[in-house]
A and B are shown apart, each in its own frame.
Chain A
């Protein structure tokens, strides 16, 4: 499915945020782009902002936000639940806010998505460990830090100090790429109820975690890998596309006022419109300023 967006407009199920959260003008909506459509300058800015977050060891930093998903305890993410999509949308939203806080002056890059269904393999901008100038590529890996040693036991995931990946096929018969196909994504988007769609999309999501392997393959440390954020932005995008295709669809039994901890200003209903959260997904954008 292709979306061409040139102006912001409400989409998806209506949600009402507090006035304090709804001052964003549609004209100021951010557009989350595909990893492959980022310009060199945008990739550079993304790397710079991520490096800045990595350098912070307080509650604005990468370590803190990566740790919310899994270790250190408590593990806060929701999986195997209809809260999977709302919770991760809130998680991305908060992470993105802190990322935007440390963007280089004069440029702003929202979280990009990795379309693993059409772009087999880790995107080059996330794969190359070193950059042409010899510096470390912060999108290729990150320290796994801030976790007390006693939360790595003999009975859980081994202690690691740096993320690692082992991308590869997930088993015989899943094709050479081993990632969910565009046909599987289309089939998921065609499902009519939120329950069906959420369950199927979460399964495709799980498959990608297993495909990336290494740190990404288990919940406790997955979010420390920078590719986690591009993967989940893809998942969030697919939910947004499904919402556009199924306007008015209800969330089944999900209580809309359920608080999405530990994000203090968001409950389920406040995640239902990406526009209300200040962003949209765009396959292409075209902008212009008026001339006389």
Chain B
């Protein structure tokens, strides 16, 4: 039924000026309510898309989302509460947006000068075979996150 169309997003970040032994790219508020997908990261390659190979020199890693496949409940079932009440000891809502983290140390050191601004192209990918039986709503505008942080450690 559905054909996947990727909705890449671009981040602009600044590399640290000081030496570092590890660099993580942390994504926050990542939506995982719909289809499963891989989000591939390409440094300083603003034209990267789903056909760009992971053999490309700009490829810097990826994270994978094992998706919840849409809502099986009644209206409101899959909407995480905006805030939790005091004394609410139930587990967190299943669809609370998650954080993902990718260690990009080697590629960042290889591709970006200390202190330089750089871009990260985040490209969601879904196997066509996996997208085909799903409703379009599960694979449209699939990539959504609130913020990304570059975290380095000395």
Interface residues of A (CB under 8 A from B): 70-71, 73-75, 79-81, 151-158, 166, 168, 170-174, 196, 199-200, 203-207, 209-210, 213-214, 217-222, 261
Specify the chain B residue showing the minimal Cβ separation from A155: B70
Task: Please tell me which stretch of B11-19, B114-122, B123-131, B144-152 contacts chain A, meaning at least 4 of its Cβ atoms lie within 8 angstroms of it.
Answer: B123-131
Pairwise interchain contact B134-A157, C-beta atoms closer than 8 A? yes
CB distance from A221 to the nearest CB of B (A): 8
B135: chain A residues within 8 A (beta carbon): 154-156, 158
From the candidates A80, A154, A157, A166, name the one contacting B98 in the complex (CB within 8 A).
A80
From the candidates A70, A80, A196, A207, name the one contacting B100 in the complex (CB within 8 A).
A80
Interface of B is mostly: loop
B60: chain A residues within 8 A (beta carbon): none
CB distance from B74 to the nearest CB of A (A): 9
Determine the interface band of chain B, counting residues with CB < 8 A from chain A. 35 or more
A218: chain B residues within 8 A (beta carbon): 35-36, 66-69, 134
B125: chain A residues within 8 A (beta carbon): 170-171
- Given the complex of chains A and B, what is the CA–CA distance between A151 and B77 in angstroms? 11
Other than the given A80-B100, A158-B1, A219-B68, 18 more pairs (CB < 8 A) read: A71-B72, A75-B94, A156-B71, A156-B72, A157-B69, A157-B133, A158-B133, A171-B50, A171-B127, A173-B55, A173-B59, A199-B100, A203-B100, A206-B64, A210-B37, A210-B66, A218-B134, A261-B91
B67: chain A residues within 8 A (beta carbon): 218-219
Pairwise interchain contact B129-A213, C-beta atoms closer than 8 A? yes
From the candidates A71, A79, A170, A261, name the one contacting B66 in the complex (CB within 8 A).
A79
From the candidates A75, A168, A203, name the one contacting B64 in the complex (CB within 8 A).
A203
- Given the complex of chains A and B, what is the CA–CA distance between A155 and B1 in angstroms? 12
Pairwise interchain contact B68-A75, C-beta atoms closer than 8 A? yes
Specify the chain A residue showing the minimal Cβ separation from B67: A218
Interface of A is mostly: loop
Pairwise interchain contact B32-A156, C-beta atoms closer than 8 A? no
A261: chain B residues within 8 A (beta carbon): 91
Pairwise interchain contact B54-A210, C-beta atoms closer than 8 A? no
Pairwise interchain contact B70-A171, C-beta atoms closer than 8 A? no
A155: chain B residues within 8 A (beta carbon): 70-71, 135, 137-138
B70: chain A residues within 8 A (beta carbon): 153, 155-157
Pairwise interchain contact A79-B32, C-beta atoms closer than 8 A? yes
Residue B107 CB within 8 A of the other chain: no
Give 9 A-B contacts (CB < 8 Å), ordered by A residue: A75-B68, A80-B98, A155-B71, A156-B69, A158-B1, A170-B127, A171-B40, A214-B130, A217-B130
- Given the complex of chains A and B, what is the CA–CA distance between A209 and B51 in angstroms? 21
Pairwise interchain contact B101-A207, C-beta atoms closer than 8 A? no
Residue B5 CB within 8 A of the other chain: no
Interface-centre pick from B54, B56, B72 (highest chain A CB count, 10 A) = B72
From the candidates B56, B64, B129, name the one contacting A173 in the complex (CB within 8 A).
B56
Pairwise interchain contact A173-B72, C-beta atoms closer than 8 A? no
Pairwise interchain contact B69-A210, C-beta atoms closer than 8 A? no
- Given the complex of chains A and B, what is the CA–CA distance between A261 and B91 in angstroms? 10
CB distance from A227 to the nearest CB of B (A): 15
- Given the complex of chains A and B, what is the CA–CA distance between A279 and B64 in angstroms? 30
Pairwise interchain contact B72-A151, C-beta atoms closer than 8 A? yes
Residue B53 CB within 8 A of the other chain: yes
- Given the complex of chains A and B, what is the CA–CA distance between A173 and B35 in angstroms? 21
Specify the chain B residue showing the minimal Cβ separation from A70: B69
Pairwise interchain contact A170-B38, C-beta atoms closer than 8 A? yes
Specify the chain A residue showing the minimal Cβ separation from B129: A166
Specify the chain B residue showing the minimal Cβ separation from A165: B129
Interface-centre pick from A70, A168, A199 (highest chain B CB count, 10 A) = A199
Pairwise interchain contact B72-A206, C-beta atoms closer than 8 A? no
Residue B73 CB within 8 A of the other chain: yes
Pairwise interchain contact A73-B72, C-beta atoms closer than 8 A? yes
Pairwise interchain contact B72-A152, C-beta atoms closer than 8 A? yes
Q: Mark B79-102, 1 if CB is under 8 A from A, else 0.
A: 000000000000100100011110
A75: chain B residues within 8 A (beta carbon): 68, 72, 94
Residue B141 CB within 8 A of the other chain: no
